[in-house]
Structure 1
């Protein structure tokens, strides 16, 4: 399961984000992190499938202020490249190691 940990205007995602978790989180997506959040840090996100990526993009679209997705893991960076989603993530999120 994924955990949202708020620290100032950054929210850190920890754990896994798969279709199962997305299904459980969908109805509460507007209250997972502060409305003042500017960055979702994905550094501690161990795994995401395509449903998880779609969920992240839905969070970006529904947020009232610009929201940056940053620090994607290598596994998530591969999905970003596969689906050509670089424009939704900061440069560091999809930099290849």
Structure 2
């Protein structure tokens, strides 16, 4: 997974699976810039349940001041499966 800050938006790209989560977990509090308001998932090619839980952890650290945007088709399937639509903007 790659993280690229673009002002108040952060583009998440690549893959986010269980092994990625294990590697990124210690960095979770510093992975996203403090001024970030939107996580853009349009370039996230793959996410598994561990990856989705990691994204939810990033949201919880932002105290409700962060939203998810533009999930890829693969991510959209998990969003629907876990009923997480409320965390995404249109």
TM-score range, shorter chain: over 0.9
Query: Per-residue deviation at 1:44?
Result: 0.4
**Cα contact 1:35–1:64 (8 A) shared by 2:** no
**Cα contact 1:36–1:65 (8 A) shared by 2:** no
Deviating beyond 3 angstroms after TM superposition, the runs of 4 or more aligned structure 1 residues are none
Distance in 1, matches of 2:7 and 2:33, equals 9
TM-score (norm 1): 0.89
Distance in 2, matches of 1:70 and 1:17, equals 16
Provide the residue aligned with 2:49 in structure 1.
50
Distance in 1, matches of 2:45 and 2:87, equals 19
Query: Per-residue deviation at 1:88?
Result: 1.3
Give yes or no for the alignment of 1:29 onto 2:28: yes
Provide the residue aligned with 2:9 in structure 1.
10
Distance in 2, matches of 1:85 and 1:33, equals 20
- Which structure ranks higher in relative contact order (CA pairs < 8 Å, sequence separation ≥ 6)? 2
Which segments of 5 or more consecutive residues in structure 2 lack a partner in the other structure? none
Which segments of 5 or more consecutive residues in structure 1 lack a partner in the other structure? 92-97
Number of corresponding residues: 90
Distance in 2, matches of 1:72 and 1:64, equals 21
